[in-house]
Amino acid sequence: MSVTNQESAVKVYGNYINGEWVNSATGEVSESTNPANPSEVVGIIQKSSIEEVNEAFTAANDAHKSWSRLAAPTRGDYLLKVSNILEERLDEIALTMTKEMGKTFAEAKGEAARGVAILRYYAGEGMRSTGDVIPSSDSDALMFTKRTSLGVVGVITPWNFPIAIPIWKMAPALVYGNTVVLKPANETSVTAAKIVECFDQANLPKGVINLVTGSGAVIGDAMLANPHIKAVTFTGSNTVGKHIGRLAFDKGIKYQLEMGGKNPVIVAEDADLDLAVEATISGGLKSTGQKCTATSRVIVHEAVYEEFRKKLVEETAKITVGSGEDSSTWMGPCSSASQLETVLSYIEIGQQEGAELLQGGERVDREGYFVTPAIFDKVTPDMRIAREEIFGPVLGLMKVSSMEEAIELANDSEFGLSASIFTTNIQKMLTFINEMDAGLVRINAESAGVELQAPFGGMKQSSSHSREQGRAAIEFFTSIKTVFVK
């Protein structure tokens, strides 16, 4: 699947087009390095040319007719084979993820296991209903719906979940009869190539899945310009997502965008504070805060504010920061030098704006992109650290005097991805569920995370308002055809 640089013995990962691993004609490459040890090269990524992007789409388009004509259970069988191969290679691929983007090995292994489960879930989708019989006003007629595949789907994925997100996009696309061209984030292209290896080992028909790598600005635009693309599914920043959305709209194809979040947790005066502290830390600081559903704003009732703040600072101070390969490490590095600089710049901005830094926020004096988790007090709604997505281990505390004020403050954001509340009062739970403007609301649980069989997506500027995962995925990856038989 790759050539090997004999001098460094580092693999060079190429394109996967029409069932073959192909070296790019550009001759241009970039190094994927370990954020915990930047001198360690995990792999070398080739930069695809626009011509190779077009070749990938041609291969996918040529494969679509025969793939879509396969019985859906047969397509599901292929996904089941992929899941078994991924399970066999779980530790190897999880370790690659840890080395490539810094996530702790325990978290990486959990994500890889989730990828296995997602593949098996959608393998089962091949056996489920894809239409309904509808009563006709004509007693001699039969009317029903059936779902049809879209064609070639462009899949553009981020670096923070380099196994789960590509799989939860590709698996439903494939089982519903589409073919795929995957463009992963540069930072995790080695991990993506290993996932594609699993599909290759399962002997999917040529052209059903294709991989291209390189600059998002070049490759992403080329994907949207290709005449064969029928849909694009994207997870990433709002700026890039809106650009993709505009291109897709102008082209008249379906698009699915999952973007940013500024996710709140509300701690009511009757909350279990130990549980709330544990979940706030887990939701906000696991994966170094590099989750779209990570807790960022911590809205606490004044009656328990001081006690909660004290407990939060004490528990956060216990966190061990280090290489994700070290089993004693709780939090790994930021994914890259630029991500570290972004986090440090927001910590500086928070202090300049008048927030009080209670804990952390310092670069660790060692090789790698490490920062200690930061907690800010006296955060006000107008501050940038309260409004902009940081995508790092930074929590901002905000004090309120009522549930009404807490929900109003939680909703005071352009984003609406996830939110959680800690309370033992049923009425407060119901009010939160009904009034919180977020696609994912969780009660007495951290803001991050959704089960694979449940719909996932945001409101407001967090999403294009479609849903991923679970049975809901069929709505994006298929079209409904109404059939009338006389």
| Residue 313 CB burial class (10 angstroms; 0-12, 13-18, ≥19) | middle
CA–CA separation, 411 vs 340, rounded Å? 28
Q: Are 105 and 325 spatial neighbours (Cβ–Cβ below 8 Å)?
A: yes
Burial classification of residue 351, based on how many CB atoms lie within 10 Å of its CB (0-12 exposed, 13-18 middle, 19 or more buried): middle
Asked if 112 and 90 touch (Cβ cutoff 8 Å), the reply is yes
Q: If 0-12 CB within 10 Å is exposed, 13-18 middle and 19+ buried, where does residue 196 land?
A: buried
Q: What are phi and psi for residue 323, nearest 5 degrees?
A: -65, 135
Inter-helix orientation angle 189-201/72-88, to 10°: 120
CA angle 341, 93, 333 (to 5 degrees): 20
Contact 190, 32 (CB under 8 A): yes
- Yes or no: say if 386 and 56 are a contact pair by the CB < 8 Å rule: no
Q: Based on the residue annotation, tell me whether 100 is a catalytic residue of this protein.
A: no
Query: Nearest 5°: phi and psi at 331?
Result: -130, 130
Q: How far is Cα 79 from Cα 174, in angstroms, rounded to an integer? A: 8
Catalytic residue among 100, 107, 125, 258: 258
Query: For tokens 């281990």, what's the residue?
Result: 393
Question: Do residues 183 and 156 make contact, with C-beta atoms less than 8 angstroms apart?
Answer: yes
One-letter amino acid for residue 197 of the chain = E
| Residues 6 or more apart in contact with residue 195 via CB below 8 angstroms | 86, 93, 115, 162, 163, 166, 167
| Six token digits for residue 283 | 């939701």
| 119: phi then psi, degrees, rounded to nearest 5 | -60, -40
Distance CA 295, CA 300 (A): 13
Distances 219 to 3, 75, 181, 182, 211 between C-alpha atoms, Å: 22, 28, 11, 10, 11
Output the CA–CA distances (angstroms, integers) from residue 342 to 67, 262, 365, 385, in the order listed: 44, 16, 18, 12
Catalytic annotation, residues = 258
